[in-house]
Amino acid sequence: MHDAPTVYLDHAATTPMVPAAVEALTAHLADVGNASSLHASGRRARRVVEESRETIARVLGCRPGEVVFTSGGTEADNLAVKGLYWSRRAADPARRRILVSAVEHHAVLDPVEWLVEHEDADLELVPVDRDGRIDTDALAASIARDPGSVALVSVMWANNEVGTVQPIADVVVIAGEHGIPVHSDAVQALGAVPVDFARSGVDAMSISGHKVGGPLGVGALVVRREIELTALVHGGGQERDVRSGTLDVPAVAGFAAAVEVAVKEQAEHAARMTELQHRLVDAVRRAAPDAVLNGVSTGSTTGTSSTTGTSPTTDSGPPVEARRLPGNVHFSFPGCEGDSLLMLLDARGIECSTGSACSAGVPQPSHVLLAMGRDEAVARSSLRFSLGRTSTEADVDAVGEALGPCLERARAARA
């Protein structure tokens, strides 16, 4: 066991609640009243829910009626993908194709695969480049091949493993030319980069409480009022009759408080995360010169080249800050297993991830890295460090100090 304080660098998996969310949550924990009840206690609970809905709508650029509360990002993704597919298919049986990026979270991929197996859907994975950015030309070509057969497009706002921010505006334009609805999983993007529902043009967007400093077990699907969704859960008809179930009033209040803080402080937070990100990239490269940064270059001081060899000063696309989440650092470490390195770092009090927490422990390489053109050995040798509000320079420096000895042991174990 280690005596040093824990260095928590897995904020992309979950991040501590912010004080405003804790205060909002605890303020209602002792309250009684079902938000669907008509008596005074029920009306008080309903008022908390609707005020929370209005808060989220105001900061996300949508209408209150477009915020559908769920149990989190996974349920929101399922509701969007299945709900859109079923409603579109019911209106036109020819609409069987679902187009998603090859680097989507399993909360999108698995529901689509279920629809393929049980509901006659046809999944098409749209390729990405070596930085994990979707090939919009391939998307356009796939749609153009038979626009009338496409039920929906789902492209995440930002990738949970390598932090690549997707060109959502381009995706919306391409799909919009054919009247095809677009869903985006914005779970990782909210609070890290600017997120405005109305301006984005997407038709549905998933967000989650515990990723932005809110409680676990609450999230939302923001979906345009004009969009028809078929419900996953039936019962009391809550949430526009597309998500039945008694609402968790304290969690909803905490969620709204966290979203408000995340959006309000986004620019300041991103600036601080970017500084720490650069410091961490430099620390890793000093400790492990052969380590390879996956995803878009961070533009750190010890090197600006990403795995593609493209410098952000010569790239004609958006600046680095607009193409990678500011708190994400994802490296491959040649000659070792990522799981072994993770456990060695954990023994020294440093907590990180081999990728998506939802697939932790499953002995298979990251589908994200494979889609980005890496081989299985490289995919297995990777770690994700994700920074958050509680991260400090001391945390970053601790990684730099521990990485060298841990990497040496991990490589020796593999050999």
Domain residue spans of the chain = 7-16+266-414, 19-264
Do 307 and 293 meet the contact criterion of CB atoms below 8 Å apart? yes
**Do 19-264 and 7-16+266-414 have the same topology in CATH?**
no
**What CATH number does the domain located at 7-16+266-414 have?**
3.90.1150.10
- CB count within 10 Å of CB 9 equals 27
pLDDT at 309: 34
Q: What is the pLDDT of residue 314?
A: 34
The whole-number pLDDT of residue 364 equals 78
| 406 classed as catalytic | no
Q: Give the model's pLDDT for residue 305.
A: 38
Pairing of strands 7-8, 219-223: unpaired
**Per-residue model confidence as pLDDT tens for the chain (415 residues):** 445 679 999 999 999 999 999 999 999 999 999 999 999 999 999 999 999 999 999 999 999 999 999 999 999 999 999 999 999 999 999 999 999 999 999 999 999 999 999 999 999 999 999 999 999 999 999 999 999 999 999 999 999 999 999 999 999 999 999 999 999 999 999 999 999 999 999 999 999 999 999 999 999 999 999 999 999 999 999 999 999 999 999 999 999 999 999 999 999 999 999 999 999 999 999 999 999 999 998 866 554 334 433 333 334 456 665 799 999 999 999 999 999 999 999 999 999 999 655 555 555 789 999 999 999 999 999 999 999 999 999 999 999 999 999 999 999 887 7
Residue 112's pLDDT is what? 98
Q: Which of 62, 336, 352, 358 is catalytic?
A: 358
pLDDT at 135: 98
pLDDT at position 380? 92
Q: What pLDDT does 147 receive?
A: 98
Residue type, 231: A
pLDDT score for 322 = 78
Order of strands, sheet of 292-293, starting from the edge strand that comes earlier in the sequence: 292-293, 328-332, 382-386
Distance CA 310, CA 293 (A): 12
CA distances from 122 to 80, 94, 197, 238, 382 (A): 16, 11, 28, 31, 31
For residue 405, the surrounding DSSP H or E stretch is helix 393-414
Give the class (CATH, top level) of 19-264.
Answer: alpha beta
Cβ pair 273, 192 in contact under 8 A? yes
pTM above 0.85, yes or no: yes
